[in-house]
Chains A and B, each alone.
Chain A
Amino acid sequence: MAAPNVRCTSRDQYPRRWAKTLKLELRGITKSFGTLVANDHIDLVVESGQIHSLLGENGAGKSTLMNVLYGLYSPSSGQILVDDVPVNFSGPADAMAAGIGMVHQHFMLVPVFTVAENVALGAESTSFGGVLNLAETRRKIREISTQFGFDVDPDALVEDLPVGIQQRVEIIKALVRNSKILILDEPTAVLTPQETDELMDIMGQLKAGGTSIVFISHKLREVKAISDTITVIRRGKVVGSASPDASTTELAELMVGRAVNLTLNKADATPGAETFKINNLTVMNDAGQRLLDDVTLSVSQGEILGIAGVQGNGQTELTEAVLGLHKHVLGSITLDGKELVGKSVRQVLDSGVGFVPEDRQDDGLVGELSIAENLILDLYKSAPYSRAGTLNRAAIAKNAINKVAEFDVRAQSSQDAADTLSGGNQQKVVLARELSRPLKLFIASQPTRGVDVGSIEFLHKRIVAERDAGTPVVIVSTELDEVLELADRIAVLFAGRLMGIVPGKSSRALLGLMMAGLPVAEAQEQMKSQSESGTTEEGAQP
């Protein structure tokens, strides 16, 4: 990964077309789906050459608004104005023609095509006889690439590129189509901290080149670092705008609508006996590829081990191997000295493991069953929920009422199907279930993904409470902030290998280097040499 300071771009060299900028205005945009109002009279002005952040919780209506702007949805009412001229987009093609480009959170790239082919896709220039002419596209990609220091090879296959570069391809795609306004939808969700910093650099250069950027995020730190203007959306409405100088607490309050305690008050861990041990664990897929490679770690009672890493580096396999969901597992996993490898999921759960899967909708809940039933999904065989093979409905209902109250699950009735709940409430149901019995080990993957800031606070407290009750806790999260917040020690996985275990208070930069594949010793080395040469990045402070 290229260090950001390698690039040098002269701002005088931008061609003329970058000089022309665009002002975008949304007036009273309302978008409703049936009775549900996703956007309620939203006014927004994106001045030319600015980075305008759209801050809001999941489900606040940010993405809906941007899809309206990009022509994917037609607004129920309201107007879009480009350079003070009202426009009417009937599809993304119109939006693109008007100079609006969008980089979706999940990339719209064809993995087996080259960068150039992907960029040309949809606007292919052909020579005589319909033969694809990529030379022009290649030239443009090189041009943009050198201008902004993108470092993208037009002939590389997209599937071979890391996520950060794929994102740049998406940006190039928009720029090639002459976009003056770039919408970036949660662009940092899939990036390592270093890649995030590089993206911030790129955004700064695009802005300097005259491109306006709409930056959608729910991460306060990033929004504060890059924006010129911040607009906060809550429940489909604009609740205010803020300058980037506003404090994180102020922004969080605006976003959630009430005072939020962002820092978790947790006492230092008082680790007890090391009861949970993983020794030389290797997990393979059916093809024999090692998804997890020789990982050894241990967790003590009363301690939270955070597992950091970019999505897809073996975290899923690690947690699933513990639970007994994987077939090809080598090595050993012991809890209280008892071997877990080779045990069935039922046996593992019965031995006192609480498990929150990474993907609650696919693995954690049965959407069609009621909330009450989901709250006993792995407890249904034990008293008091069933006896002699018969479910005890009264006990199930009583449990549901207690758990719904205790975990503040916002539901009309605990007899409603679980998939009527919002993501955050679904997650509360899963956590309520898994924390509702005496545990000897608690493993949670992405415990607060898609959960609003207010609920995160509550869920984090519950997890810390479980730790303080003397349970070894493993937290897997791709959100570095969450790992830093919760963990007493942090293990970093890259490509299925353990890069090292560092204390919970380690610096973001160090973790970032490890997440990018440097073993802990090398990462510390590099940190040292960087601080000596005085080129420490902005994100180096924890």
Chain B
Amino acid sequence: MSGTDKNVPAEQTPGTPGAPGNPGAPSIPGATGTPGATGAAGKPTAPSAQGNADKPGKPEKESSASQVVREIMSGSAMISVLAVVVALVIGGILIAITDTRVTTAFGYFFGDPMATLKAIWASISEAYGALWRGATYDPGARTWQGRLGIFETLTFATPLILSGLSVTLAFRVGLFNIGAKGQIILGATFAGVVGFMIELPPGIHLLAVMVAGAIGGALWGGIAGFLKAKTGAHEVIVTIMLNYIAVSLVLYLLKNQLRDPSSSNPISPRMHETAMFPLLLGPNYRLHAGLIVAILAVIVVSWLLNRSTLGFEYRAIGANPRAARTAGMLVSRGYITVMLISGALAGLAGVTQLAGTEKILDADIAGSIGFDAITVALLGRSKPWGTFFAAILFGAFKAGGTSMAINANVSIDIVAVVQSLIVLFIAAPPLIRSIFRIKEARSEGVSA
């Protein structure tokens, strides 16, 4: 055995579980240590008293998914920022090595090494420059629409903010809501039915569309929450399956009941004007009032989590369902209500997408938003405002990615690679820590 401190899991006394750095704060099994609920080792003397091993009626031990989420949430904001930086650096390397100018210059690297470096610099700066200008402000563009990419960024960010909040909220209760996609689709479908099949006065119509969308999403999310609470079915599996069902369901409806009679494609008629979000900056920009809804949602979710008794329950359940239950909270009701709210938020994301940007319902209304929402929530470390800024960043990637592809001739797939790398680095905080040699912030016990 090559003895280091870490190399001893099999023999380590459970008296110091995972806390060698904290001997001043004895954990429960410490010295008086009767094994308690977790101790399989100390078998009770009584032959028939097997109460420790299986506690009936206790909520299940937290799933590994929520452990991952907690690990991510416990990281500092610095980790998120560094993850983006590292992902951009690696993206830059990919841009450079796929650029023919760089590979050509590398051919005579030993003759003129500076040429290679210059080519690399040119390649990366052009690409990221185009990305930045496309996402914010491009003085060289011919039209005003092209110049102010920032509004395009915000347009892309709007559904991401709402769906990101949906994932964030579920995370905080310890649920991994993979079902944003399905909830977006259901929300958009419900909104669409109200939006293009019913005629209502202006204002009321849009409100009705939003309510319908929220209900659609809540319904779809609620199924997962209900199954989790009543049967223990894992929400990850359920929401993934509900995504498939949602896609097929909307396709069926678009081929039959909801289909635009004048089109041969499975798409819906156009939404009534009264059902659509007003454009915020006139017809030249796509930015619509859905952004205001999204910002309001951030404020509401932030209040809900941090200031309301419901949010207090949610945070307690998410961090320790057993203690929450012992304190009289209804854990299963928490799972159901949070999935209803989470689904409603994703449904609203569907509404902004349909009634703000797309205007016509098709089966691909959710696009990649459903899965980007997970990334956004992770990058935002499951905090409402963190999610907001992460969504803006991802909106910028989308807006700038197109400009990068056109102006710098870099494949838009690089953006997808960078986004994936961000997730990778965020999901592995130790990786970032070791790259930047960040000391893990350990809480040190105050000795009694």
Contact = CB atoms under 8 A, between A and B. Distances in A.
B323 interface: yes
A166 B42 CA distance: 9
A190 B34 contact: yes
B413 interface: no
Nearest to A164: B45
Interface residues of B, number: 79
B4 interface: yes
Interface in B24-66: 24-52, 54-58
B328 A186 contact: no
Interface stretch (A129-137, A240-248, A361-369, A532-540): A361-369
B13 interface: yes
Given A63-B16, A366-B324, A391 B307 contact: yes
A325 B330 CA distance: 11
Nearest to A163: B45
Interface string A160-173: 01111010000000
Nearest to A419: B443
Contacts of B270: none
A218 B28 contact: no
A315 to B, nearest CB: 8
A517 interface: yes
A199 to B, nearest CB: 14
Contact of A517 (B12, B20, B46, B446): B46
A532 B280 CA distance: 98
A502 interface: no
| Residue from B14, B35, B313 whose CB has the most chain A CB atoms within 10 Å | B35
A329 to B, nearest CB: 10
A34 B21 CA distance: 7
B33 A186 contact: yes
A90 B447 contact: no
A91 B37 CA distance: 30
Contacts of A186: 15, 31-33
Interface in A145-199: 159, 161-164, 166, 185-186, 189-190, 192, 195
B320 A359 contact: no
Contacts of A36: 21-24, 444
A106 B13 contact: yes
> Which of B10, B27, B46 has the most CB atoms of chain A within a 10 A radius of its CB?
B46
A72 B33 contact: no
Contacts of A59: 23-26, 30-31, 445, 447
A284 B56 contact: yes
A323 interface: yes
Nearest to B43: A163
B30 A58 contact: yes
Contact of B319 (A94, A108, A366, A425): A366
A390 to B, nearest CB: 6
Interface string A447-459: 0011110110000
Nearest to A310: B45
Contact of B445 (A236, A325, A422, A455): A422
Interface in A315-353: 316-317, 320, 323, 325-328, 344-346, 348-350
A21 interface: no
Interface in A420-434: 420-425
A289 interface: yes
A360 interface: yes
B57 A326 contact: yes
B312 interface: yes
A105 B15 CA distance: 8
Nearest to B447: A422
Contacts of A205: none
Contacts of A524: none
Contact of B25 (A218, A350, A423, A494): A423
Contacts of B46: 310, 312-313, 494-496, 517
A190 B28 contact: no
B23 A478 contact: no
Nearest to A72: B8
Nearest to A291: B51
A36 to B, nearest CB: 6
Contacts of B320: 362, 365-368
Given A72-B11, A389-B308, A495 B25 contact: no
A326 B210 CA distance: 42
B323 A377 contact: yes
Interface string A62-85: 111001001111100000000000
B309 A423 contact: no
A377 B26 contact: no
Contacts of B313: 380
Nearest to A368: B319
A292 to B, nearest CB: 8
B435 interface: no
B444 A312 contact: no
A445 to B, nearest CB: 10
A111 interface: yes
Nearest to A91: B1
A108 B57 contact: no
B26 A35 contact: no
Interface in A103-151: 104-109, 111
B44 A311 contact: yes
B325 A362 contact: no
A479 interface: yes
Given A67-B13, A313-B44, A380-B313, 18 more contacts: A35-B444, A57-B31, A63-B15, A67-B16, A72-B8, A106-B42, A107-B42, A163-B44, A312-B50, A314-B49, A317-B51, A367-B320, A412-B446, A421-B25, A421-B445, A423-B25, A425-B448, A516-B45
13 contacts: A63-B16, A74-B5, A92-B1, A163-B44, A190-B34, A218-B31, A291-B50, A312-B45, A350-B328, A389-B310, A390-B308, A446-B34, A516-B45
Q: Which 5 residue pairs spanning A and B have beta carbons closest together?
A: A312-B44, A90-B3, A91-B1, A495-B46, A59-B26
